Chain A
């Protein structure tokens, strides 16, 4: 079972930036890619860096600590190329200007 949780209005996240959302004891990084929103766990698989603070590069984010690159659609690590780690992604939708996450 999971639930749709209303998080914030769309304009709370500027285009091409991310924000952390605190849901219970979990932090989820939500990104505004301009044409859509994507959400992943706010924890880099490398050393737990806050992905929400990374620079968005296309549909990936670059962790601010050591520049690991994580694909936001799949949660898979895109750089370093030899890493297989993958983080959890979350379904996301927008109703009447409000972002909801399935978590």
Chain B
């Protein structure tokens, strides 16, 4: 001890250890804290790894304590150092880097690691665990469309991994030893429902299969079962459960069973060593979920800071599967021995609910397909509520009138966030005391909804009801017809395999849609399925039904594609002939080096296109517009690059594709920038010995200088960088978000990281999807010859002249 401060050494930089440190800091500043983490990342939300794999969140987004937090609290952070030994007599720990760190108090929060089942060949290449951010990154590098993935283990983690891989385009099979999935959390009936749902998503499920070996030479090529059969696969994820990390417990001479044994005060058998989280065993139970860790951390913080008193008595276990479209919830003891089951099921809807009731109290619950009541059941489980009066409608509460009433009925002591343990009362108090008005402030202050996130909407409802200046933030919904954010919708379309706008509106919306959501959904479907969707022209703006730009008088403007702005005398003659033949009221050179024929009647469009014999210039749509070019090395005495050829090539690569908003491009042969590439959505700026690829420029409603994406040497590299950005923008931007808003929102650093600096496999996947979309696209003006329906361009006229029947009016 020195100067009254005590040295607290924390082994483990995960959720349990850091949650406990957060609590300790609340109690007392007297510790000098050192945290060891064998991973190289700051504390992140491990239970959201599956959403990183599925691409719903980035690695940064699941960070719980950024580096500044450690600095602010004077915590010595030792990342990438594994503590390999403890000397409990002389009170120091030894790191694998040889460092020796003395402690007064030691906190073991070593967590658990992936269990390695007795399978031969687990050390082969392309065999992964799914436990850490690094595991997830490794998987992401190899998961790409067409890859055959095998997940061994049909528990929570295995299923979430399977889903993530499937979203990445892998062909996924889950192999499970037991007869039903998640058998520790679900009864066989619920397990069967879950199997059906996974298979609906496109994940194959093999049950009762014992894996004996990974086959393949150096790298995995499949797995072998005990019956001698083999399942082929390119990568194998082993998610067969977890084991508490107890080695340091042994080395410290602690009492260890399955985990490091602690009492209700979270004390181990050594008065100076404490343990928390997945590595401990409390009253015979080792927990592998987040809620118990947080509860333990709170008790331990009291004990460790000399405020011994609060006790930990165990946690009602609750599990939620975090797969969109597969709602699964399980809590408590759902076995039917010594308890009365209350059951509901609807096979067609895929809903299964079972409650178990003992002595008039709820002891367990399983919900599949509809987990909307999970909070109510958790509350009954935690409080041991007397169900006598509710008995007749356990599964069907009296219709809830509105969210406000539901909230009002909830007691202040009711838990809202089960992971972190935040009550309704605590949230309301925080709102009033701290003047909280946004969800992120609420998270920061109370930590509510920083676990699995399933209470987010509940938290938002409280904010909405209580906070005087409640601000909706971040994810705005697309529109009232389909009240989901665009991020969310993209995920829904993907996971639910929806292929038509009307389907989406029928299932997730009001069934009718409007001029805002219909074109947006049309775009998303086209992008997500790379053109392999059910195109519905009624959901498109008129410009995209007749492939021309409607003018104020109802006529249309026609702009043929002139690649790179490079035309020919023959082409110009044809355009002139068309202008004469159809009495085109105005022929205009556009700002984009194109020629615009204005005032064309709808019914003349097919003939005009045929006479022009040119492609659609897409000047009417949210799609690829043009590439403006300068003359470049071919003629210009200052040119350093062949900007015209590069521009023509770029236009060929992107033409006919749809984008979230219009995409204008330019290529220039030298930094004089004659074609203004630095204010385009994508620009290639030639310089001596290479190109600068710039993105997110604008010279319209706003003026913005484009950001540098990267500098490359060859034209091919420049085009590839442009392709990566182009497809990334197509996939990640919201509909009607121009690149300049998109790049500002996301940040050019992140754009670079996820495009040009991304792992090779990620880049490959982006380019593959672009190619797939490109292959499915075609020149819209071909519809002039083969319309999608006979009346696409015409006006109807009476079938016979004159009335067939006269009526009085």
Q: Which residues of B contact A67 (CB under 8 A)?
A: 515
Interface size class of A (residues with CB under 8 A): 35 or more
For residue A20, give the distance in angstroms from its CB to the closest CB of chain B: 5
Let me know if A2 is at the binding interface, CB within 8 A: yes
| Residue interface mask A1-23, B partner, CB < 8 A = 1 | 11111111000111111011111
Let me know if B795 is at the binding interface, CB within 8 A: yes
For residue B525, give the distance in angstroms from its CB to the closest CB of chain A: 16
Separation of A4 and B802 alpha carbons in the complex (Å): 9
* Contact A53:B799 (CB < 8 A) given known A1-B809, A13-B791, A14-B537: no
Let me know if A45 is at the binding interface, CB within 8 A: no
Q: Which residues of B contact A47 (CB under 8 A)?
A: 552
Let me know if B92 is at the binding interface, CB within 8 A: no
Contact A57 B796 (CB under 8 A): no
Q: Which residues of A contact B550 (CB under 8 A)?
A: 50, 53, 64-65
Contact B554 A49 (CB under 8 A): yes
* Contact A14:B804 (CB < 8 A) given known A5-B798, A6-B799, A50-B554: no
Separation of A81 and B791 alpha carbons in the complex (Å): 33
Contact A19 B797 (CB under 8 A): no
Q: Which residues of A contact B545 (CB under 8 A)?
A: 17, 53
Q: Which residues of A contact B803 (CB under 8 A)?
A: 3-5
Contact A54 B796 (CB under 8 A): no
Separation of A27 and B778 alpha carbons in the complex (Å): 33
Contact B515 A23 (CB under 8 A): no
Separation of A59 and B787 alpha carbons in the complex (Å): 27
Let me know if A87 is at the binding interface, CB within 8 A: no
User: Which residue from B538, B796, B798 sits with its C-beta under 8 Å from A15?
Assistant: B538
Let me know if B3 is at the binding interface, CB within 8 A: no
Q: Which residues of B contact A17 (CB under 8 A)?
A: 537-538, 545
Contact B799 A98 (CB under 8 A): yes
Contact B514 A55 (CB under 8 A): yes
Q: What is the chain A residue whose CB lies nearest that of B805?
A: A4
Q: Which residues of B contact A38 (CB under 8 A)?
A: none
* Contact A6:B800 (CB < 8 A) given known A1-B808, A19-B791, A53-B550: yes
Let me know if B806 is at the binding interface, CB within 8 A: yes
Contact A12 B809 (CB under 8 A): no
For residue B274, give the distance in angstroms from its CB to the closest CB of chain A: 62
Contact A21 B795 (CB under 8 A): yes
Q: What is the chain B residue whose CB lies nearest that of A24?
A: B798
Interface size class of B (residues with CB under 8 A): 35 or more
Q: Which residues of A contact B229 (CB under 8 A)?
A: none
User: Which residue from B502, B513, B514, B807 sits with its C-beta under 8 Å from A3?
Assistant: B807
User: Which residue from B515, B795, B799, B808 sits with its C-beta under 8 Å from A62?
Assistant: B515
Contact B538 A22 (CB under 8 A): no
Separation of A13 and B538 alpha carbons in the complex (Å): 10
Contact A8 B805 (CB under 8 A): no
Contact A102 B514 (CB under 8 A): no
Q: Which residues of A contact B806 (CB under 8 A)?
A: 1, 3
Contact B807 A20 (CB under 8 A): no
User: Which residue from A1, A14, A22, A62 sits with its C-beta under 8 Å from B796?
Assistant: A22
Q: What is the chain B residue whose CB lies nearest that of A32?
A: B538
User: Which residue from B502, B513, B804 sits with its C-beta under 8 Å from A57?
Assistant: B513
Contact B807 A22 (CB under 8 A): no
User: Which residue from B513, B538, B554 sits with its C-beta under 8 Å from A14?
Assistant: B538
Q: Which residues of B contact A56 (CB under 8 A)?
A: 512, 538
Contact B807 A30 (CB under 8 A): no
Let me know if A80 is at the binding interface, CB within 8 A: no
Let me know if B4 is at the binding interface, CB within 8 A: no
Interface residues of B in 542-580 (CB under 8 A from A): 542, 545, 550, 552, 554
Contact B542 A7 (CB under 8 A): no
Q: Which residues of A contact B541 (CB under 8 A)?
A: 55, 64
Contact B799 A8 (CB under 8 A): yes
Q: Which residues of A contact B804 (CB under 8 A)?
A: 3-6, 100
**12 CB < 8 A contacts A-B:** A4-B804, A12-B790, A12-B791, A16-B502, A19-B796, A54-B542, A55-B514, A57-B512, A58-B514, A62-B514, A98-B799, A100-B804
Q: Given A3-B807, A53-B550, 14 other A-B contacts at CB below 8 A?
A: A4-B804, A6-B798, A7-B798, A7-B799, A8-B799, A12-B791, A14-B789, A17-B538, A22-B797, A50-B550, A55-B539, A56-B512, A57-B512, A98-B799
